[in-house]
């Protein structure tokens, strides 16, 4: 029988029924779920779907947080030959309606009471949606079912009907419609097959030694293909225990409770962890700061040897061991003390972050891919780490660089096309199988590196093509800067929206006896603006003039997902942010002279009061 995701992952002879595979936090403690329970719960969902008349190829949407319920639903959908359509738990009603309409989903499995209430008022907009299965509440009247009611409906379905459905599935069948996060436009449904997912899992396992005795903490949204493939399907394939974080806010606590050996995340988590470490060091005595700086220096020297494939001298090995024991011990403890490595994806990782964690004895292996590639194209991995790159191309995948610098990829992970959108498919997928990633990059000595997103390149009035993410990552390396958006398309020079790291800024203000009431006061204070200007100038002193941020506006809060400014994986949605802060961006170009005019902007509400 051709391999499919449920056919392989749920195969009863791969792992014993009493082996632990999932863990969920309930009543202040993590509770284990074994393979027997997982297979049984998946079977119940599959039979419930059959009872509702779900046919092969039908779309069933899931909008729920990471949990065993998500896995049960997804594998149940796939077991009957249907197509799962994940929706981010944090999405609003309009995005949910768009995905339900575009995919023509017949069912929605939902765990979001507020969204459920809104959806009930707008059911006329999704006439094809036959049932809503509510995971955490009693059903309302009409098209809704509770979880127990749904399960009860399937009890009369014989198990062999599921086996019959599975036996008819092919690896080339579409397993999921994964909607892109919409950083550059309306979300499109990416058709990913069973073969796409499984080929990516198997290729990644040639790079990473993931074992049954490992434990993974799951906190990136399962609606994101990075977590879906690498933190879920890959872990099930290996029998690795998946422990679900309670929420993104509880991740630091859950690290200490779960004590994972591997974890998958996006750069924003590492940035926050690094900022927290810096904050604690700065708030400590001078001797603590000197020890920290010395440990970083030792780590950088040691890393330099490793990256050049040279053996570090004995004294440097001893110095690093001492630094990790004295300076970095608390960081290891906060992460549970067992972490072997992180894997990073979804956005570029700042080299300063990679160097810091490597110095601390916690390597971050940065990889690269897209939703359309299921997702991994390349990755750094143990024994093959080159900072500043996104690693080696995974086995079975080909990469070439087009004449304009765009990265093209071909292989078994490349998607089937965009759902009901042949025009968009034709734009990125050539007949010979080469997929246009939209990223600009170089391939040198077997390692791939990205310079920027093709669609996000800034073209200045002077005709310079500028990758903004490189500049943003440079600026975010400074301890006083938390987030940045660089702007300058068709403009004479670059400007930036800068979010300060407020804990560090507050420490500075208190040390300098700067009076302030709140963050709005801070970002508008002349001495704070002067501080950030000096920090910005220091970071970009060695850059060509056209690559420098000439003016900036300091914002009183970070960009927010609920305001449509960030994707669910914390990437900036450039167009919405540029529209939201259009007055501030244009205002930085209105000064008649060419002096530096930096400002603070207090964000009070959507009316944009202050500045």
How confident is the model over 189-208, as pLDDT tens digits? 999 999 999 999 999 999 99
Q: Is the predicted pLDDT of residue 61 greater than 50, yes or no?
A: yes
Task: Please state which of the ranges 71-80, 255-264, 288-297, 378-387 shows the lowest mean pLDDT.
Answer: 288-297
Cβ atoms of residues 129 and 106 within 8 Å? yes
What does the pLDDT look like over 9-49, one tens digit per residue?
Answer: 999 889 999 999 999 999 999 999 999 999 999 999 999 99
Cite the DSSP H helix spans in 110-192.
113-120, 147-153, 159-167
Task: Please state which of the ranges 191-195, 213-217, 462-466 shows the lowest mean pLDDT.
Answer: 462-466
Q: Where are the beta strands (DSSP E) in 27-135?
A: 29-34, 59-63, 83-86, 107-110, 131-134
Task: Please state which of the ranges 408-412, 503-507, 571-575, 602-606 shows the lowest mean pLDDT.
Answer: 602-606
The pLDDT of residue 533 is 94
Q: Is the predicted pLDDT of residue 335 greater than 80, yes or no?
A: yes
The mean of the pLDDT values for the chain is 91
The pLDDT of residue 568 is 80
The pLDDT of residue 128 is 96
The pLDDT of residue 2 is 60
The pLDDT of residue 185 is 60
Cβ atoms of residues 436 and 465 within 8 Å? no
**Across 173-196, average pLDDT:** 87
457-601 maps to CATH 3.40.50.1970: no
Residue 178 to residue 196: CA distance in whole angstroms: 12
Task: Report if pTM > 0.75.
Answer: yes
The pLDDT of residue 386 is 92
Residue 156 to residue 138: CA distance in whole angstroms: 22
The pLDDT of residue 609 is 39
The strand pair at 241-244 and 20-26 is best described as parallel
Fold that domain 1-13+31-169 belongs to in CATH? Rossmann fold (3.40.50)
Confidence of residue 325 (pLDDT cuts 50, 70, 90): confident
Q: Is the predicted pLDDT of residue 594 greater than 60, yes or no?
A: no
Cβ atoms of residues 226 and 345 within 8 Å? yes
Domain layout of the chain by residue ranges: 1-13+31-169, 457-601
């Amino acid at each position: 029988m051709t391999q499919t995701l449920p056919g392989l992952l749920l195969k009863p002879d791969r792992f014993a029924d009493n082996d632990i595979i999932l863990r969920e936090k309930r009543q202040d403690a993590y509770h284990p779920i074994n393979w027997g329970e997982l297979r049984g719960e998946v079977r119940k969902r599959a039979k419930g779907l059959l009872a509702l008349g779900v046919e092969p190829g039908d779309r069933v949407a899931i909008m729920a947080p990471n949990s065993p319920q998500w896995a049960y639903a997804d594998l149940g959908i796939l077991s009957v030959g249907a197509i799962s359509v994940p929706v981010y738990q944090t999405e609003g009603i309009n995005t949910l309606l768009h995905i339900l309409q575009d995919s023509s989903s017949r069912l929605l499995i939902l765990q979001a009471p507020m969204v459920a209430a809104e959806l009930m008022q707008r059911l006329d907009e999704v006439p094809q949606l036959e049932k809503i299965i509510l995971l955490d509440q009693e059903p309302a009247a009409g098209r809704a079912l509770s979880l127990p009611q749904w399960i009860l409906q399937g009890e009369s379905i014989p198990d062999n009907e599921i086996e019959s459905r599975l036996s008819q599935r092919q690896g080339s069948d579409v397993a999921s419609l994964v909607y892109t996060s919409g950083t550059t436009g309306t979300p499109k449904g990416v058709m990913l097959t069973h073969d796409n997912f499984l080929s990516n899992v198997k290729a990644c396992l040639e790079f990473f030694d993931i074992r049954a005795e490992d434990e993974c903490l799951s906190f990136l949204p399962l609606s994101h293909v990075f977590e879906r493939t690498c933190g879920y399907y890959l872990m099930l394939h290996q029998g690795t225990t998946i422990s679900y974080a309670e929420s993104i806010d509880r991740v630091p606590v859950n690290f200490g409770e779960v004590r994972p050996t591997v974890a998958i995340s996006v750069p924003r988590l590492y940035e926050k962890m690094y900022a927290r470490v810096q904050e604690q060091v700065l708030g400590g005595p001078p001797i603590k700061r000197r020890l920290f700086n010395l440990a970083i220096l030792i780590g950088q020297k040691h890393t330099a040897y490793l990256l050049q494939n040279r053996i570090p001298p004995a004294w440097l090995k001893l110095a690093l061991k001492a630094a990790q024991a004295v300076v970095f011990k608390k960081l290891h403890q906060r992460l549970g003390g067992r972490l072997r490595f992180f894997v990073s994806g979804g956005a570029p990782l700042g080299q300063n972050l990679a160097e810091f964690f490597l110095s601390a004895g916690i390597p971050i292996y940065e990889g690269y891919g897209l939703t359309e590639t299921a997702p991994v194209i390349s990755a750094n991995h143990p024994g093959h780490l080159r900072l500043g790159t996104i690693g080696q191309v995974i086995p079975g995948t080909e990469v070439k660089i087009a004449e304009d610098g765009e990265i093209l990829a071909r292989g078994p992970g490349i998607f089937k096309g965009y759902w009901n959108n042949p025009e968009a498919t034709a734009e990125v997928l050539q007949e010979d199988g080469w997929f246009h990633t939209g990223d600009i990059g170089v391939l040198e000595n077997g390692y791939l590196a990205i310079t920027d997103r093709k669609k996000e390149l800034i073209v200045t009035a002077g005709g310079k093509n500028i990758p903004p993410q490189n500049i943003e990552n440079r600026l975010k390396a400074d301890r006083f800067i938390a987030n940045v958006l660089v702007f300058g398309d068709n403009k004479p020079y670059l400007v930036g929206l800068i979010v300060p790291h407020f804990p560090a800024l507050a420490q500075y203000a208190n040390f300098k006896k700067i009076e302030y009431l709140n963050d709005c006061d801070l970002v508008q204070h002349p001495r704070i603006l002067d501080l950030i200007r000096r920090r910005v100038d220091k970071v970009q002193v060695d850059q060509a003039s056209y690559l420098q941020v000439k003016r900036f506006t300091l914002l009183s809060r970070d960009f927010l997902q609920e305001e449509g400014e960030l994707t669910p994986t914390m990437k900036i949605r450039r167009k919405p942010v540029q529209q939201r802060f259009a007055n501030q961006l244009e205002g930085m170009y209105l000064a008649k002279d060419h002096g530096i005019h930096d400002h603070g902007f207090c964000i009070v509400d959507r009316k944009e009061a202050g500045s």
